[in-house]
A and B are shown apart, each in its own frame.
Chain A
Amino acid sequence: MTRILPHPILTIALTLFWLILQQSASVGNLILGLAIGLSAGLATRSLGLDKPKMGKPWKAVELVFVVLADIVRSNAAVAWVILTHGNSPRVAGFLRVPLKLRDHTALAFLSIILTATPGTVWLEFDEEAGELLLHVLDLVDEEQWIDLITKRYERRLLEIFA
């Protein structure tokens, strides 16, 4: 099983991508999509990536909605900062966030979340100290930002990738 399907999620996702791209779920396209997904999965195996350990993957649904709501909110917030403080944001600054996350897939998802919500930019992650360096555009309250990242995103990611 693992010989043919080293990365089952990648294979399924690529097959789905192919079907959506072709806008048809015909047998021919399904076979072609599966061929692409399988060969990409095999090619990825030689990269030697560690497999994500799934804990409660269904918790991802909740996380998606939380993040979508935050994207709307932070878009409005950043647009407001640009409109009202045209030249220099008043309280932009660096922020260090201590993280418990170590799983690389989970960290990748956290970076996607932080990038997708405007107002926070991921600068670097110190794996030894478990500390994330961010730049925040509207750094009024440091504690509030740390709470947002650890309690809203990190806690859920820890549950998903247990």
Chain B
Amino acid sequence: MNAIPLWGAIAFAILIVGGAGLTLLGCIGLARFNAFYARIHGPTLGTSFGMVGIIFASALYFTLAEGRPVMHEILIAAFVVITTPVTLMLLSRAALHRDRSEGAPDVPAPRRRIAAREPQPDTKI
């Protein structure tokens, strides 16, 4: 383990506190907003720049401490970025389905499919 230079310590301290702070803000938004659709915006702070800050801090710290480039944290970023939309879409579409079937007034209705609603011609022989 090498000694960490002061500029490095300051840089990754800023990154960690910034990333953790953004994630905390996202969680506060998740807890405090009044509607589901507003709430799901909160955690995306943590999955975007909150995550980036902490990952950069980790890469910088271990690069300085071990004296060789450490970049495998980038895989965490890749997988978080790829998988977050799946969870988020599942959650939001479930909420949308619930609100529509309950007839909530402020939720946009699905597009009407005219073709599917037309009475089918009688195909009995």
Which residues of A line the B interface, CB within 8 A?
Answer: 17, 20-21, 23, 71-72, 75, 78-79, 81-83, 86-89, 92, 94, 96, 108, 111-112, 114-119, 121-124, 126, 128-129, 131, 133, 135, 137
Contact = CB atoms under 8 A, between A and B. Distances in A.
A112 B37 contact: no
A128 B22 CA distance: 38
Contacts, number: 114
A161 B68 CA distance: 38
14 contacts: A17-B75, A71-B48, A71-B49, A78-B29, A78-B42, A92-B35, A94-B37, A119-B44, A123-B89, A123-B93, A123-B96, A124-B110, A126-B111, A131-B111
Interface of B: 22, 25-26, 28-29, 32-35, 37-38, 40-42, 44-45, 47-49, 52, 70-72, 74-75, 78, 81-82, 84-85, 88-89, 92-93, 96, 107-108, 110-111, 113
B41 A121 contact: yes
A116 B81 contact: yes
Nearest to B50: A75
Q: Which of B34, B44, B84 has the most CB of A within 10 A?
A: B44
A112 B111 contact: no
